[in-house]
Amino acid sequence: MKRVALIAVGSFNPPTIAHLRMLETARSHLEAIDTHVVEGIMSPVADSYNNKPTLIKSKYRIEMVRAATKTSDWIRADDWECTRPTWTRTIDVLKYHRERIQKKFGSDVGLMLVAGGDFVDTFPRILPDGSNLWNPSDILKIIVDFGLIVLTRDGSTPLNTLDSMPGFSEISGKIQFISDEVCPSAVSSTRLRAAISAKKSIKYATTDEVIEYIQENSLYQK
Amino acid sequence: MRNVVILAVGSFNPPTFGHLRMLQDAKDSLQKAGMNVLEGIMSPVSDGYGKKTLISSDHRFAMVVAATQNSDWIRADSWECSKSEWTTTLNVLKHHEHDVKERFGDDVGIYLLVGGDVVETFDKFNADGSPVWKREDVEMLVSIGLVVQPRPGSDPEKTLEILGLQGGDINVHMIRNEIASNAISSTRLRAAIKEHRSIKYTTPESVIKYIKENKLYE
């Protein structure tokens, strides 16, 4: 039986039920096609990723991911990426984790990236300084060498995005598109932050452990 | 400040985060409008409702108890589901209105929590040509109190306008800015359980545990 580990990267600012459902759905999908999932990893991005004022310190974000995965028997938080002083390209995060995974579980185990449809929508994005957010060869490597599972959500158009990128429509068939039929949730971190600063309840939008951590550390108050 | 209670009715077969989030959003919205929410009640429908997929109310009630065990304001109520025959929603609401006034005082109000799609059925007809709702029942519901969760594609305010249900004696509160308008449905959860797909993070851990221990929906 084929064996893989899954990784999700992102701000997790804060982690929500939607992030966790994305991994659960990917795993259910793979197990249904006889692929055994050995582990799930959630890797928060480093603080230097951008200067967004809404991105709180990674020491809090990693703890929230730990709290979020506390009751999971297969997903864990990993702090390698977010404890590095500089931003790490996603391809390098994947290379690092694949090496670790193969040491731990055997060289036949692959690593696949799991992402939301909005993640694919960022592929052609140009930064304010005119440079590309993504190196096209990195995207190719992620799709071909690792494997990409995309959870489609309302409002994201991953296939249109790939078709619009020269050279990418041919490989879009290698991406596994899935959707969460059980829970097509519209929970977003942005909405959670807005709710917290408006003193509205976020119960049942993320796990109780994450809510407890946010309250104890007075995060996102303003 | 007016003290109020929120009543949610349904199959809860099984209860999901969607049901619980609806109650949280209703509470936040009512409090923002200057009310004080004393309690939330989840009342599973009786087995007499007669849907084939409906499992026994003993289990559905136990799951709602499990789902609300971490809440400091929502509780499960068995009045409706302990009856063998079905009770109309209006009569469930009237029972709790009476009960709430007895427990908390005569000035305390009650709001029935419904989705916008339910309000849209107020002016609809059944296949046999009879109206889905009796006019006097609808009038009674909107005068006791309704708190309405918007649903994509539904326009409950329009329906109320068409029915002429507006003005001083109408007590309908529309939920604004809900943070997790998600579409988790019990139907989808049951299908997932049957196919051995994961339902983690769609309903509280305590509910998943109860379902497994009792081998429900397999």
CB contact under 8 Å between A186 and B181, yes or no, is yes
pLDDT in tens, A174-183: 888 888 777 7
Residues B172-185: tens digit of each pLDDT: 999 876 665 556 77
Nearest CA in chain A to B20: A204
Evaluate if residue B160 carries a pLDDT over 80: yes
Highest mean pLDDT among A191-195, A206-210, B86-90: B86-90
Nearest CA to CA, how far is A16 from chain B (Å)? 9
CB nearest A185 (choices: B27, B182, B189)? B182
Instruction: Please state the pTM of the whole predicted model.
Output: 0.81
Cβ–Cβ below 8 Å for B184 and A25: no
| Separation of alpha carbons A25 and A9, rounded Å | 16
Q: pLDDT at position A53, please?
A: 79
Checking ipTM against 0.90, whether it exceeds it is no
Contacts of B181 in chain A (CB under 8 A): 186
Q: What distance in Å separates residue B126's CA from the closest CA in chain A? A: 29
Cis peptide bond prior to A14, omega within 30° of 0: yes
Q: Is the pLDDT at B216 greater than 80, yes or no?
A: yes
Which residues pair with residue B36 across a beta bridge?
A: B3
Quote the pLDDT of residue B211.
86
Task: Name residue A149's beta-bridge partners.
Answer: A114, A176
Q: Give, as one character, the DSSP assignment of residue B67.
A: H
- CA B32 to CA B4: how far, in whole Å? 13
Among B180, B191, B198, whose Cβ lies nearest the Cβ of A205? B180
**Predicted pLDDT at A185:** 64
B193, closest residue in chain A (CA to CA): A182
- B110-133 tens-digit pLDDT: 999 998 888 888 888 888 888 888
Mean pLDDT of A166-171: 77
Does residue B15 have a pLDDT over 80? yes
**pLDDT of A186:** 65
Higher pLDDT, B82 or A127: B82
| Most confident listed range (A157-171, A180-194, B65-79) | B65-79
Give percent of chain A above pLDDT 90. Answer: 40
Query: Can you give the residue ranges of every domain in chain B?
Result: 2-213
pLDDT beyond 70 at A45: yes
Would you state the pLDDT for residue B77?
97
Residue with tokens 């990693």: A62
Chain A's closest residue to B187, CA to CA, is A182
Query: What are the pLDDT digits (tens) for A112-126?
Result: 999 988 788 888 888
Assess if CATH 3.40.50.620 describes domain B2-213: yes
Residue B193 has pLDDT above 90, yes or no: no
User: Between these two residues, B187 and B128, which has the higher pLDDT value?
Assistant: B128
Verify cis geometry, omega within 30 degrees of 0, for the bond prior to B14: yes
Evaluate if residue A106 carries a pLDDT over 90. yes
C-alpha distances (whole Å) from B3 to each of B30, B104, B153 are 10, 9, 32
The answer to whether the beta carbons of residues A17 and A207 sit under 8 Å apart is: yes
Give the pLDDT score at B175.
Answer: 87
Among B71, B182, B197, beta carbon nearest to A28: B197
Strand order from edge to edge, sheet including A2-10: A75-77, A35-44, A2-10, A110-116, A148-151, A176-178
Task: Supply the pLDDT for residue B177.
Answer: 62
Q: Answer yes or no: do B182 and A200 touch at CB < 8 A.
A: no
* Domains defined for chain A, CATH in brackets: 2-184 (3.40.50.620)
| Average confidence (pLDDT) over B156-160 | 88
Among candidates B140, B147, B120, which has minimal Cα distance to B41? B147
CB pairs under 8 A between A and B: 80
Q: For position B180, what pLDDT does the model report?
A: 56
How many other C-beta atoms lie within 10 A of the C-beta of residue B126?
9
Rounded CA-CA distance B49/B51 in Å is: 6
Q: Which residues of B touch A181 (CB under 8 A)?
A: 188, 191-192
For chain A, say whether B28 makes contact (Cβ under 8 Å). yes
Contacts A205 to B, Cβ<8 Å = 17, 21, 179-180
Mean pLDDT in residue range A141-158: 85
Q: What is the mean pLDDT of residues B36-59?
A: 92
Contacts of A40 in chain B (CB under 8 A): none
For the CA atoms of chain A, what is the radius of gyration?
Answer: 17
